[in-house]
């Protein structure tokens, strides 16, 4: 079986799961309602710890976390442009659509940003939905493979390089048709993997920064923070189509941190991560779309 057939089969399987969830109205309604209720539960459990937060001392870890998140989102946006390629759209359109659909990832059922991208490309240019569907799947595989590779490089260096080579070959096979230039054909998969690995590293820095703020004496190293972030983030990515993706991620984080932190502080940490990621998505989207709008306005004047 060719790898392209496997990718097509994966897309079809995900589509069937999404369709099944959509058709089961009772389960879907319950999961959506619970996904909205869950943050309220987090706040209630952590209310005392929230009240004890030193806002003045929180400014530095907050700004650092936002900066790390900003770098990660910019890299992911650039990777999206590379994955889509210039045969279907240009850099500005690709980045604009990425930012427009960024917040859709936070909606119950993370597949909405996939649907949003397909719709926007179909409205903007002549575009077949299966092309963007394949690009969505390549992005998904890139995130999962780079996450697993980052984790193994931290925990088992030798096996990490083995998985890196495998991941490179997978990405090379999926992207090779878009580039006629031999240098680009071999270099682009490498850029994608390294960029996504940097994104995972940025996430590890966010976790490490917040852990140090919540518990300055905690015995978790930066490398361990990266491992924990990659595990929780990969779980969230794999189950992105579920209305309660965030809960899967936070349950995993709770299990990993329970030997090191009290339950209430883990819940507080989860809440802070949610707020920072959401604010990061909003700010980066607005800044990015604002820059594009200004650039388009200048281009129309000069044109």
Looking at residue 22, its pLDDT comes to 46
pTM of the model: 0.81
Between CA 163 and CA 170 the distance in angstroms is 10
Sequence-separated (6 or more) residues with CB below 8 Å from residue 270: 42, 250, 253, 254
pLDDT tens digits for range 75-127: 999 999 998 876 656 788 888 888 888 877 766 555 667 777 777 776 555 55
Between CA 70 and CA 74 the distance in angstroms is 6
Provide the Cα torsion 157, 159, 165, 170; round to 10°: -130
- Mark the ranges of the chain whose per-residue pLDDT is less than 50: 21-23, 28, 31-32
Task: Report, in angstroms and rounded to the nearest whole number, the Rg of the chain calculated over CA atoms.
Answer: 20
**Residues 275 and 58: beta-carbon distance below 8 Å:** no
DSSP the chain: --HHHHHHHHHHHHHHHHHHHHH-HHHHHHHHHHHHHHHHHHHHHTHHHHHT--HHHHHHHHHHHHHHHHHHHHHHHHHHHHHH-TTT--HHHHHHHHHHTGGGGGSSSTTHHHHHHHHHHHHHSS--HHHHHHHHHHHHHHHHHHHHHHHHHHH-HHHHHHHHHHHHHHHHHHHGGG--SHHHHHHHHHHHHHHHHHHHHHHHHHHHHHHHHH-TT----HHHHHHHHHHHHHHHHHTTTSTTHHHHHHHHHHHHHTTTS-HHHHHHHHHHHHHHHHHHHHHHHHHHHHHHHHHHHHHHHH-
Sequence-separated (6 or more) residues with CB below 8 Å from residue 220: 208, 211, 228, 260
Looking at residue 294, its pLDDT comes to 84
- Specify the residue for token string 């998505």: 281
**Residues 49 and 270: beta-carbon distance below 8 Å:** no
Sequence-separated (6 or more) residues with CB below 8 Å from residue 232: 249, 250, 252, 253, 256
């Amino acid at each position: 079986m060719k790898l392209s057939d496997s990718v097509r089969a994966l897309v079809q399987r995900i589509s069937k799961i999404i369709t099944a969830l959509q058709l089961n109205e009772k389960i879907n309604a319950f999961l959506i309602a619970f996904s909205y209720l869950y943050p309220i539960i987090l706040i209630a459990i952590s209310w005392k710890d929230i009240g004890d937060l030193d806002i003045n001392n929180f400014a530095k870890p907050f700004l650092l976390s936002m900066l790390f998140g900003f770098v990660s989102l910019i890299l992911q946006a650039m990777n999206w442009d590379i994955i889509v390629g210039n045969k279907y759209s240009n850099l500005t359109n690709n980045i604009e659509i990425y930012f427009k659909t960024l917040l859709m990832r936070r909606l119950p059922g993370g597949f909405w940003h996939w649907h949003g991208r397909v719709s926007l490309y179909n409205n903007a240019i002549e575009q077949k939905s299966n092309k963007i569907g394949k690009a969505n799947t390549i992005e998904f595989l890139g995130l999962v493979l780079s996450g697993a590779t980052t984790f193994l490089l931290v925990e088992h260096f030798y096996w990490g390089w083995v998985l890196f080579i495998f991941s490179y070959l997978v990405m090379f096979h999926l992207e090779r048709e878009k580039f006629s230039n031999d240098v680009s054909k071999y270099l682009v998969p490498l850029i994608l993997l390294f960029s996504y690995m940097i994104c995972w590293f940025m996430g590890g820095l966010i976790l490490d920064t917040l852990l140090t703020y919540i518990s300055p004496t905690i015995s978790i190293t930066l490398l361990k923070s990266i491992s924990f972030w990659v595990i929780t983030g990969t779980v969230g990515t794999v189950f992105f189509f579920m209305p309660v993706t965030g809960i899967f991620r936070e349950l995993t984080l709770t299990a990993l941190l329970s030997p090191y932190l009290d339950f209430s502080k883990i819940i507080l940490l989860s809440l802070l991560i949610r707020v920072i990621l959401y604010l990061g998505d909003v700010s980066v989207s607005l800044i990015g779309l604002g820059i594009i709008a200004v650039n388009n306005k200048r281009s129309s004047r000069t044109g």
